[in-house]
């Protein structure tokens, strides 16, 4: 009948769109698969019977990675929204930025079953770009305002100062599924070292398959190390037993997330989340505090975080090792991030601004960042104070070990005329611990 909602057809259509391949994402860089290195051509004189020797060894370097998660409650960002406090680029500059969002659109039926609202993700990405590259843009504006004499004087500054200028950040990969969105930004000078970005979406919401709850995972290879970032929004609810539904969501995400097999030499990339070298999970995990609401509020007012964390559902799961076996979380020394009055520092249901709530919403650390595997050291774990929604953003800073390939190419031959062995070698490696910039040295000598 006309006007009747055809649920099976709508659900099937949504599932079909959601599974449209792992390369269906937004990025600044053309193409979805990048070559790691194009070797420069050497102008060497032709010699008889050339041979190539390749010496390959690996080194470990550390890179700074910023990770954040924020449930924005369906509120679209304004053009003048300030996220400087969240990204904190004035004090710290990282090599990779990973930003996860939940509820970038309201979770009503038209958004869950309709096409994803790309304009919202474009707004967030535009805001991220503007904030990450603010230093670079300010420097360019200052240079444009200099007089000719000032430009000449400035041009005489040391190469050391010039080398400290930070490159711009570009979007490596961005993906939205209903309200869940993840956006990965990298330094533009590091881009040649990233390969094979892919995405995988898993819906765990309505009917156990729609995207109002679930995950958007991204993976890529940086130098010789595989990364996977999982942005999740798990089942809500503060009733007893609701944590088991969240555990089930997490188990489904780990089992159903699948990345494509990458064909090619030395590209044996993993297909599942937990098989990657470096794995970080971020999002609104929705775990609550297993205490009566009145006791929870009293302990929050006292800032007794230790007692609250002893009853935190996620901490108990991490200790029991069931849904999150071998996962780690940093020390929490900040207030619960949920649930706040809008545009206010008062928790929902508290203070003179609070009306009698229809549903109980005791404060909780719903928004979390956890990781698994070796090679990742957390340097910072805190929250931001932006008041846009009823959640406060959470952010973490990691120092992550990355395996970098150092390859030496040698060509040589025997010369009957001179009775010696002309040799040329080309060494590729990264010189700077945090830059990852490529350098090469050419050596040519006669070996008697």
| Segments forming the whole domain that contains residue 81 | 57-132+167-413
What's the pLDDT score for residue 44? Answer: 36
Residue 138 lies in a domain: no
What's the pLDDT score for residue 45? Answer: 42
CATH number at 258 reads: 3.60.10.10
> What is the residue whose two structure tokens read 């979007």?
171
In the predicted model, what is the mean pLDDT of residues 243-261?
94
Average pLDDT, the chain: 80
What's the pLDDT score for residue 322? Answer: 83
Question: pLDDT-based confidence at 447, cuts 50/70/90?
Answer: very low
**392 φψ region: left (φ > 0), alpha (ψ -120 to 50), beta (else):** beta
Global pTM value: 0.80
At 217-235, the pLDDT tens digits run: 999 999 999 999 999 999 9
Cα–Cα dist 44/316, whole Å: 64
Q: Is the pLDDT of residue 236 over 80?
A: yes
Residue 151 lies in a domain: no
The tokens for 222 are 């940086």
What's the pLDDT score for residue 359? Answer: 64
At 253-285, the pLDDT tens digits run: 999 999 987 766 556 789 999 999 999 999 999
At 42-81, the pLDDT tens digits run: 333 443 444 555 556 789 999 999 999 999 999 999 989 9
What's the pLDDT score for residue 408? Answer: 56
Residue 172 lies in a domain: yes
Q: Is the pLDDT of residue 30 over 80?
A: no
How crowded is the C-beta side of 195, counted as CA atoms within 13 Å?
Answer: 18
What's the pLDDT score for residue 366? Answer: 98
Q: Is the pLDDT of residue 96 over 60?
A: yes
Helix (H, G, I), strand (E, B) or coil at 216: strand
Q: Is the pLDDT of residue 420 over 80?
A: no
Cα–Cα dist 152/148, whole Å: 6
In the predicted model, what is the mean pLDDT of residues 401-420?
61
What's the pLDDT score for residue 401? Answer: 98
Residue 345 lies in a domain: yes
What's the pLDDT score for residue 157? Answer: 52
Residue 327 lies in a domain: yes
> What is the residue whose two structure tokens read 């009055």?
341
Residue 305 lies in a domain: yes
What's the pLDDT score for residue 6? Answer: 52
Cα–Cα dist 293/44, whole Å: 77
Cα–Cα dist 432/186, whole Å: 17
At 282-329, the pLDDT tens digits run: 999 999 999 999 999 999 999 999 999 999 999 999 998 789 999 999
Q: Select the more confidently predicted residue: 302 or 20.
A: 302
What's the pLDDT score for residue 87? Answer: 95
Give the dihedral sign, CA 229/233/238/243: negative
Cα–Cα dist 291/297, whole Å: 10
The tokens for 338 are 């949920």
The tokens for 153 are 């004087």
Q: E strands along 234-366, which residues?
A: 278-284, 327-328
At 137-195, the pLDDT tens digits run: 665 555 555 555 555 555 555 444 444 566 899 999 999 999 999 999 999 999 999 99
What's the pLDDT score for residue 67? Answer: 98
Per the structure, how many domains does the chain have? Answer: 1
Question: pLDDT-based confidence at 353, cuts 50/70/90?
Answer: very low
Question: pLDDT-based confidence at 406, cuts 50/70/90?
Answer: confident
Give the range among 20-29, 180-189, 369-378 with minimum mean pLDDT: 20-29
Residue 24 lies in a domain: no
Residue 192 lies in a domain: yes
């Amino acid at each position: 009948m006309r006007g009747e909602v055809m649920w099976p057809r709508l659900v099937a259509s949504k599932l079909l769109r959601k599974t449209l391949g792992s390369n269906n994402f937004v990025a600044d860089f053309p193409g979805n698969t990048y070559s790691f290195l194009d070797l420069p051509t050497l102008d060497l004189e032709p010699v008889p019977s050339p041979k190539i020797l390749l010496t390959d060894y690996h080194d470990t370097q550390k890179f700074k990675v910023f990770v954040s998660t924020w449930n924005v409650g369906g509120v679209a960002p304004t053009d003048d929204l300030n996220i400087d406090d969240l990204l904190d680029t004035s004090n710290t500059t990282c090599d990779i930025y990973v930003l996860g969002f939940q509820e970038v659109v309201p979770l009503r039926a038209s958004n869950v079953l309709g096409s994803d609202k790309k304009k919202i993700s474009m707004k967030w990405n535009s805001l991220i770009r503007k904030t990450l590259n603010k230093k670079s843009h300010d420097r360019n504006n200052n240079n444009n305002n200099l007089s000719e004499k000032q430009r000449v004087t400035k041009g005489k500054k040391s190469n050391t100062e010039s080398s400290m200028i930070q490159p711009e950040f570009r979007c490596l990969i961005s993906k939205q599924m209903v309200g869940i969105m993840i956006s990965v930004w990298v330094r533009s000078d590091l881009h040649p070292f990233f390969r094979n970005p892919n995405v995988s979406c898993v819906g765990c919401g309505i009917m156990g398959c729609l995207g109002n709850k679930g995950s958007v995972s991204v993976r890529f290879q940086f130098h010789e190390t595989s990364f996977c970032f999982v942005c999740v929004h798990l089942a809500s609810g503060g009733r007893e037993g609701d944590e088991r539904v969240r555990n089930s969501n997490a188990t489904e995400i780990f089992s159903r997330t699948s990345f494509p097999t990458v064909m090619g030499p030395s590209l044996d990339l993993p297909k599942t989340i937990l098989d990657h070298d470096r794995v970080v999970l971020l999002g609104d995990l929705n775990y609550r505090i297993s205490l009566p609401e009145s006791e929870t509020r009293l302990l929050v007012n006292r800032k007794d975080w230790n007692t609250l964390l002893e009853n935190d559902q996620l901490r108990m799961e991490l200790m029991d090792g069931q849904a999150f076996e071998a996962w780690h979380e940093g020390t929490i020394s900040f207030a619960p991030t949920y649930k706040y009055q809008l545009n206010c520092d008062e928790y929902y249901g508290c203070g003179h601004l609070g009306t009698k709530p229809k549903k109980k919403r005791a404060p909780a650390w719903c928004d979390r960042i956890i990781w698994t595997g070796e090679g990742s050291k957390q340097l910072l774990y805190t929250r931001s104070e932006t008041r846009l929604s009823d959640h406060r953003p959470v952010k973490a800073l990691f120092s992550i070990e990355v395996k970098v390939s150092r390859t030496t190419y040698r060509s040589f031959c025997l010369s009957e005329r001179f009775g010696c062995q002309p040799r040329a070698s080309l060494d590729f490696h990264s010189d700077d611990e945090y830059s990852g910039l490529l350098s090469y040295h050419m050596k040519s000598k006669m070996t008697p």
